[in-house]
């Protein structure tokens, strides 16, 4: 059986994925050695790929092995090739509740963009001052998919889903402290949202949220 490529004795790259699923590979870099990341980068040189949760040391190595690669240090994301595809399908709107949610929200935005969607990000529109959110009602109702990143109480997706006709991707973040339990409170809030139409991803999983939103908005 084919459809994969072995890299050293440590990886089986899923070369069939772009054809089977329609989106390129992504390399989760946390817990991988620099040597392993470099080996994989060399293997994907002729294809396209995303590298997520890239450490500073891994970023430096990637810049050497894939010159010109796009790296966003805040989102800890690298994209190869650096030029995103021409946008197709609908628009992905990313909302985040607070300024501190931005790194995760940007990971979602960049992922959606490198998977081929137009994106827009609006930050710091949490429910504590709901007039801020309501001033963007038109954009919410025009979007084809919405990612809502929120930590602490995680209440924003409930309100946004109640205003939107398109699906909402709930993206809990680990922003907060104490009973927030590293994002668990926000996660539970989103899973128990009283408004239907929310699909939830893992805490701080900006990549997964952007991927799901890109799939949802693939058709306009």
Q: What are phi and psi of 130, to 5 degrees?
A: -65, -20
The distance of closest approach from Cβ of residue 72 to a second copy in the complex, given in angstroms and rounded to an integer, is: 14
Q: Pairing mode, if any, of strands 49-52 and 77-80? A: antiparallel
Cβ proximity to a second copy, 67 vs 138, nearer residue: 138
Calpha distance 209→87 (Å, rounded)? 18
**Beta pairing partners, 78:** 51, 71
Nearer to a second copy, 7 or 70 (CB): 7
| Residue 196 structure tokens | 């239907």
Contact 88, 191 (CB under 8 A): no
Token pair 């799939």 in the structure block, residue: 215
* Comparison of 59 and 158: residue with beta carbon closer to a second copy: 158
Nearer to a second copy, 68 or 209 (CB): 209
| Least distance (Å) between residue 107 CB and a second copy | 12
Q: Per the omega criterion (within 30 degrees of 0), is the bond before 81 cis?
A: yes
| Number of helices (H), then strands (E), in the chain | 9, 11
Shortest reach from residue 58's CB to a second copy, in Å: 13
Nearer to a second copy (CB atom), residue 83 or residue 165: 165
Handedness of CA 115, 118, 123, 128 (dihedral sign): negative
C-beta of 59 vs 109, nearer to a second copy: 109
CB of 32 to a second copy, least distance (A): 6
**Minimal distance, residue 30 CB to a second copy, in Å:** 7
Taking the C-alpha atoms of residue 104 and residue 169, their distance in angstroms, rounded to an integer, is: 13
Distance separating alpha carbons of residues 142 and 44, to the nearest angstrom: 36
**Minimal distance, residue 96 CB to a second copy, in Å:** 9
């Amino acid at each position: 059986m084919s459809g994969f490529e072995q890299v050293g004795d440590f990886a089986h790259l899923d070369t069939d994925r772009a054809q089977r699923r329609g989106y390129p590979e992504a390399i989760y870099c946390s817990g991988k050695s620099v040597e392993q990341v470099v080996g994989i980068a060399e293997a994907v040189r002729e294809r396209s790929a995303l590298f997520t949760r890239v450490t500073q040391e891994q970023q430096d190595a990637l810049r050497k092995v894939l010159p010109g690669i796009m790296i966003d240090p805040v989102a800890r994301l690298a994209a190869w090739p650096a030029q995103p595809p021409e946008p197709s399908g609908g628009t992905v709107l990313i909302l985040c509740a607070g300024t501190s949610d931005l790194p995760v929200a940007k990971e979602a935005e960049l992922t959606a963009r490198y998977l081929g969607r137009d994106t827009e990000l609006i930050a710091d529109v949490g429910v504590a001052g709901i007039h801020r959110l309501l001033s963007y009602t038109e954009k919410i109702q025009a979007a084809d998919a919405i990612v809502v990143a929120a930590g602490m109480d995680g209440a924003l997706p409930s309100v946004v889903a109640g205003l939107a006709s398109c699906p909402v991707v709930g993206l809990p973040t680990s922003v907060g402290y104490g009973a927030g339990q590293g994002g668990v409170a926000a996660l539970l809030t989103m899973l128990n949202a009283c408004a239907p139409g929310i699909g939830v991803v893992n805490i701080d999983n900006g990549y997964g949220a952007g991927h799901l939103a890109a799939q949802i908005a693939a058709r306009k």
